[in-house]
Amino acid sequence: MIVLSVNAGSSSLKFTGFRMPVEEVLISGVFERIGIDNSFYTIKINGEKIKKEKDLPNHEVAVKTLLEELVNNHVVNSLEEIGAVGHRVVHGGEKYTDSVLVDENVKNTIKELCGLAPLHNPANLMGIEVFNKILPNVKNVAVFDTAFHQTMPASAYIYPTPYEWYTEYGVRKYGFHGTSHKYVNSKISEILGRKDLKVISCHLGNGGSITAIDSGKVLDTSLGFTPNAGLMMGTRSGDIDESIIPYVIAKTGKTLAEISNDLNKHSGFLGVSGVSSDSRDISEGIKNGNERCILAEEIYERRVVNYIASYYALLNGVDVICFAGGIGENAIDVRASIMRKLSCFGVELNEQANNIRGEVQRISSDNSRVLCYIIPTDEELMIARDTYNIVER
């Protein structure tokens, strides 16, 4: 069966085509600047990356172009070979604890939840509706970023605010990056041959989160009501004292919306360093002695270590710490520094093993009391797996 994993943004459409259940990647790519001038798309097939400029006035044209590429590149002989389409949907609220087959009720619920993810859910829903229109006989599956975290106990997801904020307005911790954390937990369980692992999954990238997992169930995660919680990120502040907000409004005369924009788009690595939101640029700045880049890295590592330490206690010990995401998979020095700061828990680094990027690798020494692994995440594959399993039930 051919399964498409799709992530529709407001002006983009990312996709990967898999042959399931063997999980063979057949084609991947991204359509960019949809509805904007100078639109184009890139596809990768047979190891070759091809960029094409094309007028993409809307997502329907992008999807039709995608399907043409599938046929022209002999990924399928006819569109009837497409068995299902899996869609990333950022927010499933409390209702969805797993991926689901899309029907009208599901679409209505995704629409109702747009208030909790106004930048993402409307685009995700649009992607579903376009595929529904063009391929009406193909099943669609919604794979929610929030679903994996719905095993958290109330003590983890309820904020100590007026309880009515939760009951009346849905204010609670939801967590995100769930598809990535689910994949990481699945992969390390497969590697170690155990389903009862206590895992701390570190998805460290431009966006980042850390999740405590016990036997496949999430006990807590660092992202909260929105994706601007927990860790410092590329442009997001993560956790701050909320009283900063009215104080800065009074000092600057900025609106609440402007302050929110500052915290989401001008903070984190970018805000502290004044250089870049990209950790690679921060590393370069550190090499050049840039004190603000050094400070940004120190703040980042401190927050990562604090969450890992907290979750170590929550889990009452941990079997394995996993590093995923752009920083987790590729930033050799950052991983090493984090692991050294965890030495009080018996974590010990294997320097030689850690000198690698983007590959599955154990990076803890033989004497380490906690296993540490690089687990390159694969959210597209996780979407395809869930989609295949649901339509084959």
CATH number, residue 216: 3.30.420.40
**Domain stops at, among 119, 144, 169:** 144
Look at residue 9 in the predicted model and tell me its pLDDT.
94
Same domain, 261 and 344: yes
**Domain stops at, among 105, 126, 144:** 144
Q: Going by DSSP bridges, is the β-strand pair 82-89/40-45 parallel, antiparallel, or unpaired? A: unpaired
Q: Are 185 and 215 in contact (CB under 8 A)?
A: no
Look at residue 360 in the predicted model and tell me its pLDDT.
98
Is residue 179 one of the residues assigned to a domain? no
Domain that holds residue 56: 2-144
Taking only the tens place, the pLDDT of each residue in 141-165 is 999 999 999 999 999 999 999 999 9
Helix axes 279-287, 291-314, angle to 10 degrees: 120
Mean pLDDT, residues 93-112 taken together? 96
Look at residue 111 in the predicted model and tell me its pLDDT.
96
Taking only the tens place, the pLDDT of each residue in 349-360 is 999 999 999 999
Look at residue 185 in the predicted model and tell me its pLDDT.
98
Same domain, 87 and 206: no
Is residue 390 one of the residues assigned to a domain? no
For residues 247-273, one letter each, b for 16 or more C-beta atoms within 10 angstroms of the residue's C-beta and e for the rest, the string is eeeeeeeeeeeebeebbbeebbbbbbb
Same domain, 12 and 101: yes
Distance between CA 221 and CA 211 in Å, rounded?
Answer: 4
For the chain, state the CA radius of gyration.
21
- pLDDT cut 70: percent of the chain above it: 100
Exposed / middle / buried, residue 24 (Cβ in 10 Å: 0-12, 13-18, 19+):
exposed
Question: Half-sphere exposure (CA, 13 Å, Cβ side) for 299?
Answer: 25
**Domain stops at, among 86, 117, 144:** 144
Mean pLDDT, residues 325-344 taken together? 98
Distance between CA 229 and CA 303 in Å, rounded?
Answer: 11
Averaged pLDDT of the chain: 97
Judge whether 145 counts as a catalytic residue. Answer: yes
The answer to whether residue 90 scores a pLDDT higher than 90 is yes
Is residue 161 one of the residues assigned to a domain? no
**Three-state SS at 175:** coil
Among candidates 34, 183, 274, 258, which has minimal Cα distance to 14? 34
Catalytic site residue from 55, 98, 103, 145: 145
Same domain, 310 and 220: yes
Among candidates 167, 110, 118, 169, which has minimal Cα distance to 143? 110
The answer to whether residue 119 scores a pLDDT higher than 90 is no
Going by C-beta distance under 8 Å and a sequence separation of 6 or more, which residues neighbour residue 150? 94, 96, 97, 218
Same domain, 58 and 203: no
Is residue 116 one of the residues assigned to a domain? yes
Look at residue 393 in the predicted model and tell me its pLDDT.
87
Taking only the tens place, the pLDDT of each residue in 366-377 is 999 999 999 999
Same domain, 67 and 213: no
Count up the domains in the chain and report the number: 2
